[in-house]
Amino acid sequence: MIVIQSKARDLQFPHNQENCRPRTAFPNDIVLISFLPMTPGNTLQHILRDLPSAAVATFLALFPIVNPFGGVPMFFTLTANFPPAERNRTAVKTAVYVIAILVVFLFFGRFVLIFFGISLPVLKIAGGLIVANTAWGMVTGDPRMTAAESNEASTKQDISLTPMAMPMLSGPGSIGVVMGLSASADSMVAYLGMVIGIAALGLVVYLFLCLGGPLVKRLGPGAAGAINRIFGFLLLAIAVQLVWNGVADFKA
């Protein structure tokens, strides 16, 4: 961040009528240019100032955590007996629920933090730990749902809200990231950009759930697992960065 300070004399307006032009002294001005370090907090606030940047930043922050590619095998397993029209309807409902959950926490997450007295650095560290746990499960190949949740899902008629939207796609990690983004937003333009980013993510979720089945079958379990582990590695790096940013905010 660049801060420019100008030590300029004020304009002087004489009272006589003969010389009514203002006198300035620009040659003698002293201009000081100082470079301030960009901390993680003000960097994020700077990114969220305009609508396109807020939308892109929100989409990129949430995409590895939501990981629509990782939800495709579970979705097609749970909808194996569904007709194509019902499967597409379930994919639409899942995407809508993902958008609704993230948007609700986007707008009300700040009030939750204020109510419980949670500071933004603490939220970053807690969110980073949750994201790290999710990422570690992706790297090691652990299932994203417990055995009890899988057994319940296999007997449910509507799987769009649970377990697909919550906790499969928009789980605690993505909710923590959204709450952190909302705490850094300071204008309605930033909120509108983040809503657009979440809506774009919901569209990608729908496309993956509708079109990802043949792709996953063609890749095979090995290639799909390798791609999932790559996403997990990137997500683990994001988690470490979140924790680091939270610690840096405490020291600042």
pTM across the whole model: 0.69
Are 99 and 71 members of one domain? yes
Same structural domain, 196 and 100: yes
Same domain, 179 and 221: yes
For 83-94, letters b (16+ CB in 10 Å) and e give eeeebeebbbbb
Burial level of 136, CB count in 10 A (0-12/13-18/19+)? Answer: middle
Q: Are residues 59 and 31 in the same domain?
A: no
> What's the pLDDT score for residue 106?
92
* Structure-model confidence comparison of residues 33 and 57, the more confident one: 57
Q: Are residues 190 and 161 in the same domain?
A: yes
Tell me: the pLDDT tens digits for 172-206?
888 888 988 887 777 888 899 999 999 999 999 99
Same structural domain, 26 and 92: no
Same domain for 193 and 90?
A: yes
Is 195 found in the same domain as 223? Answer: yes
Mean pLDDT of 204-220: 82
What are 36-70's pLDDT values in tens digits? 344 554 555 555 677 888 899 999 989 988 888 87
Residues 48 and 161 in one domain: yes
Picking from 41, 40, 59, 64, the residue whose alpha carbon sits closest to that of residue 193 is 59
Q: At residue 100, does pLDDT exceed 90?
A: yes
3-state DSSP assignment of residue 196: helix
Q: Would the pLDDT of 7 be above 80?
A: no
Q: Which residues contact 95 (CB under 8 A, 6 or more apart)?
A: 202, 203, 205, 206, 209
Q: How many domains does the chain have?
A: 2
18 and 105 belong to one structural domain: no
Place of tokens 């002294």: 25
Does residue 98 share a domain with residue 21? no
Percent of the chain with pLDDT over 90: 18
Range of the domain at 172: 40-251
92 and 172 belong to one structural domain: yes
pLDDT at 202: 96
Whether residue 23 has pLDDT greater than 50: no
Distance separating alpha carbons of residues 40 and 44, to the nearest angstrom = 6
